[in-house]
Structure 1
Amino acid sequence: MDEVLWATARASGVVALVLLTLSVVLGILTRGGRPMIGLPRFAVAHLHRDASLLATAFLTLHVVALLGDSYAGLRLVDLMVPFLAARDALWQGLGTTALDLLLAVIVTALLRRRLPAAVFRTVHLAVLPLWGIALLHALGSGTDAGTLWFRVLAAASAAIVLAATLWRLLAPSFRTHPAARARRTPERSLR
């Protein structure tokens, strides 16, 4: 049974990382201020939400499988308090930190309509460090971290997030004040 749990944890961890990368990139592109070729902004926003939900589901599967695996030796406290794990405390702690940040993002997303926009945006920006911490966790504690295919996947993920971040930072609307963007005509803002 432990082999099944270990394989499930490995596979779900990799899938969660890929989906989290996709979610981060789509989130960056959604807020990029420029229309994307072939997709309206609302479609990108829906894809972002769906990728986020799937990433959360696979991360949950990853955590549950590791909790059930006696070899992993995780305790419930290891999931909430970083760097307490008996084995690989640093790498497990990074995973716990990413999980804690994700929980904060999920809670604020669920309460989005009841929170000030600035609070939601500030907490939501934690997704970038969350993603980086999750990548470090995967590279440090993942069983497949030393394999070529995983290193290529990690490098591609990093390159894609970096490219999307640069694209966002170079967008003309990023350099304008939010009030100026809000005064745009409805016709221009729908692009």
Structure 2
Amino acid sequence: MRGPDWPIATPGQAVGLLGGSFDPAHQGHLAITTEAMKRFALDRVWWLVSPGNPLKRDTPASLERRVAHAADVAHHPRIDVTALEVQIKARFTADTIAALKARYPGVRFVWLMGSDNLAQFHKWDRWKSIAGAVPIGVLARPGHRLSALNGTAARMLRHSRVPAGLLAQCDPPAWSFANIPMRSDSSTALRRAGVWKR
């Protein structure tokens, strides 16, 4: 796989970062991305297809296959599908964010996550550094609203919660929670159904 092209972003733009294994990408990823652009006033969203997730036991499908499939699913003029974590040799989100901020000075990055990830955010490597580096946009996921909003990270960051429409312009720490239409799409379900084989 050749090195990924670096997406274009200019100072002042608000760019959402949606990381994950995308094993496989599906319409739910596209739906939360378009909702995030609207709710958090983002100019673009970059899908960061990860080489692997330290919190997951199973090895995903090949990176090349996942990136190609994600590009088909994300067919949208304001979404860039990337494998930048390979290019910058980052294994953890904190490293990815630091590298992107250094490469794109003046770009207002917003880390995007589902409420299922907020519920376990305090288990991420250097999670407090992440919260101090970029605003965080949280999107509701089925069955994870209460656990996320009552979780360790949400409680510790409770004074940093801001309205969704202002998030991209806020200095970190800042986070917002967006209730969006629920979808049942799931990469795990697609794999179990045999629709996506590793």
TM-score by length of 2: 0.26
Q: Give the structure with the higher percent helix.
A: 1
Is the radius of gyration larger for structure 1 or structure 2?
A: 1
TM-score by length of 1: 0.27
Q: Give the structure with the higher percent strand.
A: 2
